[in-house]
Structure 1
Amino acid sequence: MARRTQRTNPPEDVTDHRFLHFPQTLNDATRARYVTNLSLLITKEIDIAPSFDWELATRTGLAALIQGFLQYTHSNASGVDLFVCQGWAHLFRIQEPVYREFLLEFYATVSYDHRKALDDRTTFAFRLGGVSRECSVIEPVTRVGIYTADETRSVHFLAFLADCLTERPDDYNENTFWAEITGAVYTPSIARGGMIRSTTYPMLQRTSGTQQQDDGDDE
């Protein structure tokens, strides 16, 4: 897999971008939270997602084999196939430029209410391009092309998404994982989201529903 661009140091004036000047019209608590989040984020790395070379995979005869791994069949308790998801295949085909200002603005302002239904249009709230937005869990993934509109209309789609929010794998080791993402020893009483070095991992924690309650103190 080849990276689109190499990670570079952020420009010194990155906070001067208009998307990172949160308006005074926001209530004081919300604006203060955004500013605090941003001050943490600008010190962290932003991972540039890799892109997959499908042309190479096709030339080497591996494309068809890989496609089989990227499909997921959602089945019921009896093993009857209900829904075939192409989400991973679509995800591997995304090769879009990444803009640091957009990511900083999004990460600094995003919130996810796990108590709401996956199709509730107020589940996700964030700012992007200087505009406050709300959407469901489903909308972002259809906008970027991971799921198609037809897939999301399936009567089995919500059950499929709910089943995707699974428990940690059996071989998961919280001490090893924490060391990888922070470079520190995992001590539950002092572990905070602000210690995580890359912005990718906090976002994965939020969307998987595994973020610890006290992370919000340091966002």
Structure 2
Amino acid sequence: MAQRTQRTNPPEDVTDHHFLQFPQTMNDATRVRYVTNLSLLLTKEIDIAPSFDWELATGTGLAALIQEFLQYTHSDASGVDLFECQGWARLFRIQEPVYREFLLEFYATVSYDPRKAPDDRTTFAFRLGGVRQECSVIELATRVGIYIADETRSDRFPTFLADCLTERPDDYNENTFWAEITGAVYTPSTARGGMIRSTTYRMLHRLISMSLTHHKNKLYFDARKKYHPGCHDMVDTFLCCGRFFIARRGYHS
């Protein structure tokens, strides 16, 4: 694992930065919401997750073990291939510099309306670099590099999105899933990724937990007993992994 690029020794208080000085001219209720969110964020530690060393993984042959999980071909009910998704592979390869001011500004101001269509350009609203921005779910995914523009213009892309697994399947059970991949009884307080028997699944769990749930393999708190941003308990982590494995290939030991 290689540490993501970030500024060393970030200041404890950056509220005087002009990106975080929300204009007095904006709507009063909106400004109060931004300031309140920022105040909460400043009580939390921003912990940057390490990025995955794909060069090392490729050199040792480990990358090849998980490649089939990172490429997904979406088919219709008759088995005809409609769309080849490279989103997981691209997501896990994102390695960009991280700046505290941008993180604070984005998370203090972002809003999302799940009722709107994926291509509605007002679905996401946020401020970044002192400027208000709006974009759709699809635009956000292309901006961060999960999809490319040509893919999203395909007439099959909306069907692919509509069929994507977004909720836990009714037949999914974390206890059964944990028993399948570890052979052990699932106990959230003691469950660890290192207990997964398959090397492939251990790597995938590491990628998912660090990229999506931002978890370091155990629950931890700062001195003020606040959750670190993005930190979830083991139930959340393994539920997410379970969704991934079920959506991709099913789960096996």
How high is the TM-score relative to the length of structure 1? Answer: 0.75
The Cα of 1:171 is off from its aligned counterpart by 3.0
Matched positions, count: 190
Cα distance in 1 between the residues matched to 2:230 and 2:9: 16
Cα distance in 1 between the residues matched to 2:105 and 2:75: 38
Structure 2 unaligned segments of length 5 or more: list them: 176-187, 190-217, 241-253
What is the one-letter code of the residue matched to 2:228? S
The residue that corresponds to 1:56 in the other structure is 56
3-state SS in 2 of match to 1:16? coil
Could you give the per-residue CA deviations for residues 77-101 of structure 1, whole angstroms, max 9, x where no partner exists? 3333211111111122221111111
The residue that corresponds to 2:137 in the other structure is 137
Q: Judging changes above 3 Å, is the alpha-carbon distance between structure 1 residues 172 and 39 closer, same or farther for their aligned structure 2 residues?
A: farther
Please say if 1:28 is aligned against 2:28.
yes
3-state SS in 2 of match to 1:95? coil
Cα distance in 2 between the residues matched to 1:142 and 1:171: 33
The residue that corresponds to 1:217 in the other structure is none
Say what the alpha-carbon RMSD is for the aligned residues: 3.1
Structure 1 unaligned segments of length 5 or more: list them: 184-194, 209-219
The residue that corresponds to 1:117 in the other structure is 117
Contact in 1 for aligned 2:20/2:101 (Cα 8 Å): yes
Runs of 4+ in 1 over 4 A off after TM superposition: 5-10, 180-183
Identity %: 78
The residue that corresponds to 2:65 in the other structure is 65
The residue that corresponds to 2:229 in the other structure is 199
Could you give the per-residue CA deviations for residues 162-192 of structure 1, whole angstroms, max 9, x where no partner exists? 333521252359xx59xx7787xxxxxxxxx
Contact in 1 for aligned 2:5/2:96 (Cα 8 Å): no
Contact in 1 for aligned 2:6/2:98 (Cα 8 Å): no
* More moved, 143-152 vs 103-112: 143-152
3-state SS in 1 of match to 2:58? helix
Contact in 1 for aligned 2:7/2:99 (Cα 8 Å): no
Larger of the two Rg values belongs to structure = 2
Contact in 2 for aligned 1:181/1:196 (Cα 8 Å): no
Contact in 1 for aligned 2:5/2:98 (Cα 8 Å): no
Cα distance in 2 between the residues matched to 1:163 and 1:49: 30
3-state SS in 1 of match to 2:92? helix
Q: Judging changes above 3 Å, is the alpha-carbon distance between structure 1 residues 6 and 98 closer, same or farther for their aligned structure 2 residues?
A: closer
The residue that corresponds to 2:11 in the other structure is 11
Contact in 1 for aligned 2:15/2:21 (Cα 8 Å): yes
The Cα of 1:121 is off from its aligned counterpart by 0.5
* More moved, 73-82 vs 5-14: 5-14
The residue that corresponds to 2:208 in the other structure is none
What is the one-letter code of the residue matched to 1:166? T
Cα distance in 2 between the residues matched to 1:84 and 1:196: 41
Contact in 2 for aligned 1:7/1:48 (Cα 8 Å): no
The residue that corresponds to 2:182 in the other structure is none
How high is the TM-score relative to the length of structure 2? Answer: 0.65
3-state SS in 2 of match to 1:199? coil
What is the one-letter code of the residue matched to 1:155? D
The residue that corresponds to 1:167 in the other structure is 167
What is the one-letter code of the residue matched to 1:198? H
The residue that corresponds to 2:44 in the other structure is 44
What is the one-letter code of the residue matched to 1:74? H
Cα distance in 1 between the residues matched to 2:5 and 2:122: 34
Cα distance in 2 between the residues matched to 1:113 and 1:135: 11
Cα distance in 2 between the residues matched to 1:158 and 1:103: 30
The residue that corresponds to 2:207 in the other structure is none
3-state SS in 2 of match to 1:32? helix
